[in-house]
């Protein structure tokens, strides 16, 4: 079983979200999910009249997605959270905490908790 979600290319994300907003959908939240050692995806959940619609965007770990906070201001909070937890950055964030939403020190790919498979520090030989 998997949820019915429309796959979207990152380049077309903001336009698609703007189209949904124009159709009366409101943003519920975003969900970031690890796929494998190098890839993750972000699900965008929208609601209209108690019906949910989902968009699915695949992205490289440590990569970047366009922020949708210019369309839905409320997205700034969850995009900052994903930045903290997955070290995924968002271009054009309306309010950018620079990886410090939950912590006083900026989260990096090495310290972000959900990036556990991403970073392997090689041991010095000998």
| Torsion angles phi and psi, residue 43, rounded to 5 | -100, 135
Q: Which is nearer to other proteins, 16 or 34 (CB)?
A: 34
> Which whole-number Å values give the CA distances from 54 to 3, 93, 98, 111, in the listed order?
8, 21, 27, 29
Is 13 or 96 the residue whose CB approaches other proteins more closely? 96
Q: Which is nearer to other proteins, 58 or 74 (CB)?
A: 74
Q: How far is the CB of 24 from other proteins (least distance, A)?
A: 9
Sheet order of strands, 39-48 included: 5-7, 51-60, 39-48, 26-34
CB of 105 to other proteins, least distance (A): 11
Instruction: Find the shortest distance in angstroms from Cβ 28 to other proteins.
Output: 6
Q: How far is the CB of 29 from other proteins (least distance, A)?
A: 4
> Which residues, 6 or more positions from 63, have their beta carbon under 8 angstroms from its beta carbon?
88, 89
- Residue ranges binding other proteins (CB under 8 A): 1-3, 21, 26-29, 31-34, 43, 45, 49-50, 52, 54, 72-74, 76-78, 85, 95, 101-104, 113-114
Q: For residue 7, with 0-12 CB atoms within 10 Å meaning exposed, 13-18 middle and 19 or more buried, which class applies?
A: exposed
């Amino acid at each position: 079983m998997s949820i019915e979600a429309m796959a979207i290319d990152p380049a077309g994300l903001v336009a698609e979200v703007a189209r949904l907003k124009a159709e009366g959908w409101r943003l519920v939240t975003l969900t970031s999910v690890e796929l494998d050692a190098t890839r993750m995806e972000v699900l965008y959940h929208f609601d209209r009249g108690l019906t949910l619609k989902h968009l699915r965007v695949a992205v490289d770990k440590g990569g970047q997605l366009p922020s949708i906070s210019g369309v839905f201001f409320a997205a700034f909070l969850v995009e900052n959270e994903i930045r903290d937890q997955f070290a995924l950055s968002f271009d054009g964030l309306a309010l950018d905490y620079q990886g410090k939403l939950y912590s006083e020190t900026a989260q990096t790919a090495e310290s972000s908790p959900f990036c556990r498979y991403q970073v392997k520090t090689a041991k010095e030989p000998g």
